[in-house]
Amino acid sequence: MRPIVVEARRGGVVEAVHDVHAVAVREGSVLAARGDPELVTFMRSSAKPLQALPLARARHDLDDAELAIASASHLARPEQLAAARSLLAKAEATEDDLECGAEGEPPRRLAHNCSGKHAGMLALARAHDWPAAGYRLADHPVQRTMLAEIAAAAELAPEAIPTAVDGCGVVTFALSLERMAHAFARLEALEAGSRVATAMRAHPELIRGPAAADTRLMRALSGWTAKGGAEGLFCATGPDGLGLALKVVDGSYRAVAPALPALLREVGVDVRELAVQPVLNSRGEVVGELSAAV
Protein backbone atom coordinates (compact mmCIF):
# COMPACT_ATOMS: atom_id res chain seq x y z
CA MET A 1 0.00 0.00 0.00
CA ARG A 2 1.38 3.38 -1.04
CA PRO A 3 2.09 5.85 1.78
CA ILE A 4 0.20 9.13 1.98
CA VAL A 5 2.22 11.66 -0.02
CA VAL A 6 2.15 15.23 1.27
CA GLU A 7 3.44 17.82 -1.18
CA ALA A 8 4.78 21.29 -0.38
CA ARG A 9 4.05 23.68 -3.24
CA ARG A 10 5.35 27.19 -3.76
CA GLY A 11 4.11 29.19 -6.73
CA GLY A 12 2.46 26.05 -8.09
CA VAL A 13 5.74 24.12 -8.13
CA VAL A 14 6.22 21.04 -5.94
CA GLU A 15 9.19 21.93 -3.73
CA ALA A 16 9.23 19.03 -1.25
CA VAL A 17 7.52 15.67 -0.76
CA HIS A 18 6.86 13.86 2.54
CA ASP A 19 5.86 10.17 2.69
CA VAL A 20 3.56 9.28 5.60
CA HIS A 21 2.88 5.77 6.91
CA ALA A 22 -0.48 5.56 8.68
CA VAL A 23 -2.91 3.07 10.19
CA ALA A 24 -6.38 3.12 11.75
CA VAL A 25 -7.57 0.29 14.01
CA ARG A 26 -10.60 -0.63 16.06
CA GLU A 27 -11.01 -3.59 18.45
CA GLY A 28 -7.74 -5.10 17.27
CA SER A 29 -8.55 -4.96 13.56
CA VAL A 30 -6.93 -2.74 10.95
CA LEU A 31 -9.61 -0.64 9.24
CA ALA A 32 -7.34 1.38 6.96
CA ALA A 33 -3.62 1.53 6.26
CA ARG A 34 -1.30 3.55 4.06
CA GLY A 35 2.30 2.55 3.69
CA ASP A 36 3.57 0.06 6.28
CA PRO A 37 1.40 -0.34 9.41
CA GLU A 38 4.07 -2.63 10.89
CA LEU A 39 6.75 0.05 10.70
CA VAL A 40 8.56 0.15 14.06
CA THR A 41 9.53 3.58 15.34
CA PHE A 42 9.78 5.45 18.61
CA MET A 43 6.56 6.73 20.12
CA ARG A 44 8.31 9.78 21.59
CA SER A 45 5.90 12.34 23.10
CA SER A 46 2.84 10.60 21.66
CA ALA A 47 3.25 8.23 24.62
CA LYS A 48 2.51 10.99 27.15
CA PRO A 49 -1.24 10.31 27.60
CA LEU A 50 -0.40 6.68 28.40
CA GLN A 51 2.46 7.74 30.67
CA ALA A 52 0.00 9.94 32.58
CA LEU A 53 -2.19 6.97 33.53
CA PRO A 54 -0.22 5.85 36.62
CA LEU A 55 -0.21 9.48 37.78
CA ALA A 56 -3.98 9.79 37.37
CA ARG A 57 -4.51 6.59 39.34
CA ALA A 58 -2.15 7.59 42.13
CA ARG A 59 -3.10 11.27 42.50
CA HIS A 60 -6.80 11.98 42.82
CA ASP A 61 -6.00 15.55 43.89
CA LEU A 62 -4.98 16.64 40.38
CA ASP A 63 -7.29 18.83 38.30
CA ASP A 64 -7.84 18.64 34.54
CA ALA A 65 -5.26 21.31 33.70
CA GLU A 66 -2.58 19.47 35.69
CA LEU A 67 -3.33 16.15 33.99
CA ALA A 68 -3.41 17.86 30.61
CA ILE A 69 0.00 19.49 31.10
CA ALA A 70 1.40 16.13 32.21
CA SER A 71 0.31 14.86 28.77
CA ALA A 72 1.57 17.91 26.86
CA SER A 73 4.49 19.10 24.76
CA HIS A 74 3.94 22.74 25.54
CA LEU A 75 5.28 25.97 24.06
CA ALA A 76 5.96 27.75 27.39
CA ARG A 77 2.91 29.97 26.96
CA PRO A 78 1.80 31.63 30.22
CA GLU A 79 -1.17 29.32 30.80
CA GLN A 80 1.01 26.26 30.10
CA LEU A 81 3.71 27.36 32.51
CA ALA A 82 1.06 28.07 35.16
CA ALA A 83 -0.28 24.51 34.84
CA ALA A 84 3.24 23.05 35.02
CA ARG A 85 4.00 25.12 38.14
CA SER A 86 0.78 23.92 39.76
CA LEU A 87 1.61 20.28 39.07
CA LEU A 88 5.15 20.77 40.33
CA ALA A 89 3.74 22.21 43.56
CA LYS A 90 1.50 19.16 43.97
CA ALA A 91 4.66 17.05 43.61
CA GLU A 92 6.19 19.02 46.51
CA ALA A 93 9.12 19.66 44.19
CA THR A 94 10.88 22.66 42.69
CA GLU A 95 12.07 23.56 39.23
CA ASP A 96 15.56 22.41 40.26
CA ASP A 97 14.16 18.88 40.68
CA LEU A 98 13.16 18.69 37.00
CA GLU A 99 15.60 16.52 35.03
CA CYS A 100 14.43 17.54 31.55
CA GLY A 101 17.14 20.09 30.78
CA ALA A 102 16.45 23.74 29.96
CA GLU A 103 14.84 25.53 27.04
CA GLY A 104 13.75 29.06 26.25
CA GLU A 105 15.45 32.44 26.52
CA PRO A 106 16.84 32.64 29.09
CA PRO A 107 17.02 28.83 29.34
CA ARG A 108 15.10 27.31 32.23
CA ARG A 109 13.81 23.86 33.05
CA LEU A 110 10.17 24.85 33.47
CA ALA A 111 10.15 26.20 29.90
CA HIS A 112 11.18 22.82 28.48
CA ASN A 113 8.31 21.43 26.40
CA CYS A 114 8.29 18.24 28.53
CA SER A 115 8.33 19.95 31.95
CA GLY A 116 4.71 18.96 32.58
CA LYS A 117 5.47 15.28 32.01
CA HIS A 118 8.51 15.54 34.27
CA ALA A 119 6.50 17.30 36.99
CA GLY A 120 3.97 14.48 36.71
CA MET A 121 6.71 11.89 37.12
CA LEU A 122 7.90 13.69 40.25
CA ALA A 123 4.32 13.70 41.56
CA LEU A 124 4.08 9.96 40.86
CA ALA A 125 7.35 9.35 42.72
CA ARG A 126 6.05 11.40 45.67
CA ALA A 127 2.81 9.38 45.76
CA HIS A 128 4.76 6.12 46.05
CA ASP A 129 7.58 7.42 48.30
CA TRP A 130 10.11 6.70 45.56
CA PRO A 131 13.28 8.83 45.45
CA ALA A 132 12.98 11.92 43.26
CA ALA A 133 16.60 11.94 42.13
CA GLY A 134 17.23 10.01 38.94
CA TYR A 135 13.53 9.51 38.14
CA ARG A 136 14.42 9.83 34.44
CA LEU A 137 16.73 6.80 34.42
CA ALA A 138 15.65 3.42 33.03
CA ASP A 139 16.18 1.51 36.28
CA HIS A 140 14.17 3.96 38.42
CA PRO A 141 10.70 2.76 39.55
CA VAL A 142 9.08 5.63 37.62
CA GLN A 143 10.55 4.51 34.30
CA ARG A 144 9.92 0.83 34.99
CA THR A 145 6.29 1.81 35.63
CA MET A 146 6.19 3.71 32.32
CA LEU A 147 7.45 0.70 30.38
CA ALA A 148 4.90 -1.57 32.05
CA GLU A 149 2.13 0.92 31.24
CA ILE A 150 3.02 1.18 27.55
CA ALA A 151 3.34 -2.60 27.28
CA ALA A 152 -0.05 -3.17 28.91
CA ALA A 153 -1.77 -0.60 26.67
CA ALA A 154 -0.24 -2.11 23.51
CA GLU A 155 -0.80 -5.67 24.82
CA LEU A 156 2.85 -6.58 24.43
CA ALA A 157 5.40 -8.07 26.80
CA PRO A 158 7.67 -5.34 28.24
CA GLU A 159 10.75 -7.22 27.07
CA ALA A 160 9.43 -7.09 23.49
CA ILE A 161 9.61 -3.27 23.42
CA PRO A 162 12.96 -1.72 22.42
CA THR A 163 13.79 1.39 24.42
CA ALA A 164 16.13 4.36 24.11
CA VAL A 165 16.63 7.79 25.68
CA ASP A 166 14.15 10.47 24.62
CA GLY A 167 15.03 14.10 23.93
CA CYS A 168 14.12 15.12 27.49
CA GLY A 169 16.16 12.37 29.13
CA VAL A 170 13.49 9.79 30.02
CA VAL A 171 12.85 6.43 28.37
CA THR A 172 11.14 6.25 24.98
CA PHE A 173 9.53 3.17 23.46
CA ALA A 174 9.66 1.60 19.98
CA LEU A 175 6.47 -0.06 18.72
CA SER A 176 4.86 -0.73 15.38
CA LEU A 177 2.39 1.88 14.19
CA GLU A 178 -0.35 -0.74 14.46
CA ARG A 179 0.45 -1.34 18.16
CA MET A 180 0.56 2.41 18.83
CA ALA A 181 -2.86 2.83 17.22
CA HIS A 182 -4.13 -0.15 19.19
CA ALA A 183 -2.87 1.33 22.47
CA PHE A 184 -4.57 4.65 21.73
CA ALA A 185 -7.79 2.91 20.71
CA ARG A 186 -7.84 1.37 24.20
CA LEU A 187 -6.99 4.59 26.06
CA GLU A 188 -10.40 5.35 27.55
CA ALA A 189 -11.01 1.69 28.43
CA LEU A 190 -7.86 1.59 30.55
CA GLU A 191 -8.00 2.43 34.26
CA ALA A 192 -7.93 6.27 34.58
CA GLY A 193 -7.80 6.56 30.78
CA SER A 194 -11.12 8.37 30.58
CA ARG A 195 -9.89 10.87 33.18
CA VAL A 196 -6.71 11.65 31.21
CA ALA A 197 -8.55 11.88 27.88
CA THR A 198 -11.24 14.13 29.34
CA ALA A 199 -8.58 16.43 30.79
CA MET A 200 -6.81 16.70 27.42
CA ARG A 201 -10.04 17.47 25.58
CA ALA A 202 -10.95 20.07 28.20
CA HIS A 203 -7.63 21.85 27.64
CA PRO A 204 -6.44 21.25 24.07
CA GLU A 205 -4.57 24.58 24.20
CA LEU A 206 -2.29 23.14 26.89
CA ILE A 207 -1.32 20.07 24.86
CA ARG A 208 0.71 21.99 22.29
CA GLY A 209 -0.57 25.20 20.69
CA PRO A 210 -3.06 26.71 18.21
CA ALA A 211 -1.16 25.66 15.07
CA ALA A 212 -0.39 22.09 16.19
CA ALA A 213 -2.17 19.09 14.66
CA ASP A 214 -3.10 17.54 18.02
CA THR A 215 -4.59 20.75 19.47
CA ARG A 216 -6.42 21.46 16.20
CA LEU A 217 -7.81 17.93 15.83
CA MET A 218 -9.22 17.96 19.36
CA ARG A 219 -10.85 21.32 18.67
CA ALA A 220 -12.24 20.20 15.30
CA LEU A 221 -13.65 16.77 16.26
CA SER A 222 -15.76 16.26 19.35
CA GLY A 223 -14.66 13.37 21.55
CA TRP A 224 -11.21 12.98 19.99
CA THR A 225 -7.95 12.80 21.95
CA ALA A 226 -4.66 13.35 20.14
CA LYS A 227 -0.95 13.71 20.85
CA GLY A 228 1.94 14.41 18.53
CA GLY A 229 5.53 13.37 19.03
CA ALA A 230 8.97 14.24 17.73
CA GLU A 231 10.20 13.13 14.32
CA GLY A 232 6.76 13.28 12.71
CA LEU A 233 4.91 10.81 14.97
CA PHE A 234 1.21 11.31 15.77
CA CYS A 235 -1.41 9.22 17.60
CA ALA A 236 -5.11 9.81 18.24
CA THR A 237 -8.30 8.08 19.31
CA GLY A 238 -11.94 8.80 18.53
CA PRO A 239 -15.12 8.43 20.56
CA ASP A 240 -15.99 5.13 18.86
CA GLY A 241 -12.79 3.35 19.86
CA LEU A 242 -10.91 4.20 16.68
CA GLY A 243 -7.14 4.47 17.09
CA LEU A 244 -4.73 6.15 14.69
CA ALA A 245 -0.96 6.30 14.30
CA LEU A 246 0.97 8.23 11.63
CA LYS A 247 4.69 8.57 10.98
CA VAL A 248 6.27 11.04 8.56
CA VAL A 249 9.26 9.18 7.13
CA ASP A 250 11.60 12.17 7.06
CA GLY A 251 10.52 13.29 10.55
CA SER A 252 8.92 16.55 9.40
CA TYR A 253 5.98 17.32 11.68
CA ARG A 254 4.55 19.83 9.20
CA ALA A 255 3.22 16.94 7.08
CA VAL A 256 1.07 15.48 9.89
CA ALA A 257 -1.94 17.80 9.68
CA PRO A 258 -2.47 17.49 5.89
CA ALA A 259 -1.97 13.71 6.09
CA LEU A 260 -4.67 13.25 8.73
CA PRO A 261 -7.70 13.97 6.50
CA ALA A 262 -6.38 11.53 3.89
CA LEU A 263 -6.39 8.70 6.45
CA LEU A 264 -9.60 9.72 8.20
CA ARG A 265 -11.54 9.86 4.93
CA GLU A 266 -10.93 6.11 4.59
CA VAL A 267 -12.81 5.49 7.86
CA GLY A 268 -15.62 7.96 7.16
CA VAL A 269 -14.39 10.91 9.25
CA ASP A 270 -14.28 14.40 7.71
CA VAL A 271 -11.71 16.86 8.99
CA ARG A 272 -11.20 18.90 5.84
CA GLU A 273 -10.08 21.99 7.78
CA LEU A 274 -6.68 20.32 8.22
CA ALA A 275 -6.31 19.26 4.59
CA VAL A 276 -4.45 22.35 3.32
CA GLN A 277 -1.77 24.00 5.43
CA PRO A 278 -0.31 27.36 4.41
CA VAL A 279 3.40 27.88 3.88
CA LEU A 280 4.39 31.27 5.27
CA ASN A 281 7.43 33.44 4.69
CA SER A 282 9.19 35.49 7.37
CA ARG A 283 6.72 38.36 6.80
CA GLY A 284 3.77 36.12 7.64
CA GLU A 285 2.63 36.07 4.01
CA VAL A 286 1.15 32.91 2.48
CA VAL A 287 3.57 31.82 -0.25
CA GLY A 288 2.58 28.19 -0.71
CA GLU A 289 0.70 25.25 0.74
CA LEU A 290 1.00 21.71 2.03
CA SER A 291 -1.58 19.08 1.09
CA ALA A 292 -1.86 15.38 0.39
CA ALA A 293 -1.44 14.44 -3.27
CA VAL A 294 -4.59 13.03 -4.86
| pLDDT tens per residue across span 49-106 | 999 999 999 999 999 999 999 999 999 999 999 999 999 999 999 999 999 999 999 9
**Residue 235: CB partners within 8 Å, gap ≥ 6?**
43, 46, 180, 181, 183, 184, 226, 227, 229, 243, 244, 245, 246
> Which domain CATH number covers 66?
3.40.710
d(CA 55, CA 91): 11
| pLDDT tens profile 142-176 | 999 999 999 999 999 999 999 999 999 999 999 99
Count of domains observed in the chain: 1
Per-residue confidence band for 29, with pLDDT thresholds at 50, 70 and 90: very high
Question: At 122, which amino acid appears?
Answer: L
Dihedral sign (CA 7, 271, 235, 240): negative
Confirm if 184 and 237 have CB atoms less than 8 A apart.
Answer: yes
How far apart are alpha carbons 8 and 42 in whole angstroms?
25
pLDDT digits (tens, 9 = 90+) for 282-294: 999 999 999 999 7
| Global confidence as pTM | 0.96
